[in-house]
Amino acid sequence: MVVLKGIPSVLSPELLYALAKMGHGDELGLGIPRLLEAILKLLPLDIYVRAPAAVMALVDSDKQKCLPVPVWDTYTQLLHEAGVQTPLEKVERFGFYERAKKAYAVVASGETALYGNLILKKGIIPAELLD
């Protein structure tokens, strides 16, 4: 339980520690929109890459069915609110798994939405914004 003012309760002390220890370019694998919203209040995303947020691309059978993935719209909206203007990167299934294995931290959120997993790439805070 986080007992500091201004820290969303969904962010555990362990997750806060992991966020603080991440370096520029490190990746965090997670799910769930509420958690994403809380993390985006604290974690700067990498502005020097094509897309600082990635999801697993639809597998061929789901593409053929035109499977909707409404959680991606939610992620996109939250990312836009945090200043990210680039679209989500869509990573082929096994490439996504390999990338997630290399992430600095993986958050087991209990997300149940299809294709709800998300990878974030940490950026930097510009010197002029530091206290």
Q: Tell me the pLDDT tens digit for each residue of 31-75.
A: 678 899 999 999 999 989 999 999 999 999 999 999 999 999 999
The pTM of this model reads 0.84
Under 8 Å CB-to-CB from 121, ≥6 apart: which residues?
A: 25, 26, 27, 45, 46, 49, 52, 53, 54
Report pLDDT for 1: 53
Q: For 69-111, what is each residue's pLDDT tens digit? A: 999 999 999 999 999 999 999 999 999 999 999 999 998 887 8
Q: What are phi and psi of 62, to 5 degrees?
A: -75, -30
Give me the number of domains the chain comprises: 1
Instruction: Determine, yes or no, domain membership for 76.
Output: yes
Residue 5 located in a structural domain: no
pLDDT band at 3 (very low <50, low <70, confident <90, very high): low
Give the containing element (helix H, strand E) for 18.
helix 13-21
User: Would residue 116 count as lying in a domain?
Assistant: yes
The closest of 106, 98, 105 to 23, measured between CA atoms, is 105
Q: Which helix (H) or strand (E) holds 53?
A: strand 53-56
Active-site positions read 24, 46, 97
- With contact defined as beta carbons under 8 Å apart, do 60 and 96 qualify? no
Domain that holds residue 97: 13-123
* 114 touches 56 (CB < 8 A): no
- Report pLDDT for 29: 77
